[in-house]
Structure 1
Amino acid sequence: MIDAHHHLWDPSRRDYPWMAGDALDPIRRPYTVEDLRAVTKAAGVHATILVQTVSSAEETEEFLELAAAEPVVAGVVGWVDLTAPDVADRLAALDGPLAGIRHQVETEPDDDWLLRPAVLAGLGAVAAAGLTFDLLVRAPQLPAAASLAARLPELRLVLDHAAKPPIAAREWEPWASGVAALAAHENVVCKLSGLVTEADWSGWEVGHLRRYVDHVLDVFGPGRLLFGSDWPVCELAASYEVVVDAAIALTGSLSDAERLAVFEHNARAAYRLDASGDTPSRG
């Protein structure tokens, strides 16, 4: 099993703007690689993808150094300033198992931020470097994401958290249509991740997630869906093992081969990991 989405952080060393508010107090503490080893071992996870948490080149360099020394971390989805004129050089200078790049687009006030000329140029450099781009977007930004997929078909896009469906509110549109339009582009895959924290943290059940998971399974298919825990954010609503168990239950209708794709092979393909799931390759 490969966990294609998790984080590490230390609020005593770095500010995390998204962590503001009393509701996030339960996870406002350091989460270390030792913590990661413990939860992944208990859940039977072989390898992971460590994903950026802030717009910080320093954090990305730290994560790459950690991943190079830590067997369980197969690769890093880091951050780079996509609008920088020398973005290609900045990507080339990142040393270590870099698997992709992410920007927290969901926090941008412009829903069309992805389509700005400077951003498109930066994403072209990401594609040229053989890296993925993780899409952290919500429903209002899905049309721009679909347009991006069409404009840069050579760029591998990974939709994080299924675009954060409105599970707690039991809403459907425009999320469902936006996800379906994005899924029409073959260069996009989707993470089965982050759903428990889009539901009611204290009262969610697997059944509350099913309609949304069935939709992404329908529009992406099991060949373009990959599992991610979104740990430790998930701890606001569920433990690591409960998240794994929920994902297994929600994919219970799949064949063994399809499940193997969702929980292992699709992550290898998306992030170009080698056969052991340990080393991403660029180019």
Structure 2
Amino acid sequence: MYIDSHQHFWQYHPEKDAWIDKTMQAIRRDFMPSDLEPVLHANGVSGCVAVQASQSEEETSFLLECADKNPFIKAVVGWADLQGDNIKETLLRFSEHNRFRGVRHVVQGEPDDFMYRPAFRRGIEELEPLGLTYDILVFARQLPAAIDLVRRFPKQRFVLDHIAKPVISAEPDKAWADHIRILAGHDNVCCKVSGMVTEATDRTWKQEEFTPFMEVVTEAFGTDRVMYGSDWPVCLLAASYAEVINIVRAFYSEDELPKVMGKNAADFYGITAI
């Protein structure tokens, strides 16, 4: 069974969703479970992981409500203020919902030293005792901080989103590739093969352009720690859902696909029923 490890829902509001600027007209509207379910079905995907897109506990509650009403949403990665004084209580409250599986912060929008901050790391400390994961969303230049973070918390389960958003060009940047290999050397880290189409120049691409990047990631992490994610609906800025999933299907062998397209995400997020 296939699982999409990374997608979003939102009820669009120009202030709350200010990151969706005028160049993103295709996604400046609501995207709800009823929009995604037929798309997943058409592409042979049985379930998904809903991931936060804005920095609010209200959105986390919204995603959990979506999961309550839509069984195909198998897990929720929400947001909580990891730097807040009451972070333990907040995580305990969200953890009462059985599909709350992890936390993400949009670190790509923060200063490059954000993940070194003591307050942030105190919040990270509260995740592992509750069995919660952490999604790392960074630009390639922020990978050194991510490496230091996963080294500091060897028992915490981490997953790198969007292969750290390198610029998709003819050849992978050497610094990005080196940092991916170092990050993958920590066995508490997985990687989502996701979010690549929107990193292509002018959001135009050819399938073969992704091959060298996927080779680096797969050689580094192995097929037991890589998982497919669509990044729907953000992917619609550069590709259809079918085009995104076919990039991954075309790269991996028939033997590898069950892990990359489903088992690895299920194991990481503790998804036991499809």
TM range (shorter): over 0.9
* Residues 209/270 of structure 1: CA separation in 2 closer, same or farther (3 Å cut): same
- Within 1, Cα distance between the matches of 2:66 and 2:23? 29
Q: SS of the counterpart of 1:61?
A: helix
Q: SS of the counterpart of 2:199?
A: coil
Deviations 1:226-269 (Å, cap 9, x if unpaired)? 00000000001111111111110122xx351x221111110011
- Within 2, Cα distance between the matches of 1:202 and 1:93? 40
Match of 2:267 in 1: 269
| One-letter code aligned to 1:242 | E
Match of 2:198 in 1: 197
- Within 2, Cα distance between the matches of 1:12 and 1:141? 29
How far residue 27 of structure 1 moved from its aligned partner, in angstroms, is 1.1
- Within 2, Cα distance between the matches of 1:238 and 1:119? 35
Does residue 104 of the first structure (1) align with residue 106 of the second (2)? yes
Contact conserved, 1:46 with 1:72, CA < 8 A, in 2?
yes
Indicate the RMSD between aligned Cα atoms, in angstroms: 1.4
| One-letter code aligned to 1:80 | A
Match of 2:258 in 1: 260
**Unpaired runs of 5+ in structure 2?**
none
Contact conserved, 1:64 with 1:76, CA < 8 A, in 2?
yes
Match of 1:69 in 2: 69
- Within 1, Cα distance between the matches of 2:155 and 2:42? 38
TM-score, structure 2 normalization: 0.95
| One-letter code aligned to 2:261 | F
Matches within 5 A, 1:84-103: 84-94=84-94, 95-96=96-97, 97-103=99-105
- Within 1, Cα distance between the matches of 2:241 and 2:30? 16
Q: SS of the counterpart of 1:140?
A: helix
Q: SS of the counterpart of 1:231?
A: coil
Match of 1:154 in 2: 155
**Unpaired runs of 5+ in structure 1?**
278-283
Matches within 5 A, 1:97-176: 97-109=99-111, 111-168=112-169, 170-176=171-177
Does residue 19 of the first structure (1) align with residue 17 of the second (2)? no
Q: SS of the counterpart of 1:102?
A: strand
Contact conserved, 2:20 with 2:28, CA < 8 A, in 1?
yes
- Within 1, Cα distance between the matches of 2:24 and 2:169? 17
Match of 2:79 in 1: 79
How far residue 173 of structure 1 moved from its aligned partner, in angstroms, is 2.9
Deviations 1:7-51 (Å, cap 9, x if unpaired)? 01122486213212x211111111111101111011111010000
Aligned residue pair count: 271
- Within 1, Cα distance between the matches of 2:192 and 2:170? 21
4+ runs deviating over 6 angstroms:
none
- Within 2, Cα distance between the matches of 1:228 and 1:80? 22
Q: SS of the counterpart of 2:231?
A: coil
Deviations 1:93-149 (Å, cap 9, x if unpaired)? 11421011000000002x121121111110010111111000001112111111111
> Bigger CA drift: 221-230 or 11-20?
11-20
Q: SS of the counterpart of 1:215?
A: helix
TM-score, structure 1 normalization: 0.92
State the identity %: 40
| One-letter code aligned to 2:114 | W
Match of 1:177 in 2: 178
Contact conserved, 1:135 with 1:157, CA < 8 A, in 2?
yes
How far residue 179 of structure 1 moved from its aligned partner, in angstroms, is 1.1
Contact conserved, 1:102 with 1:136, CA < 8 A, in 2?
yes
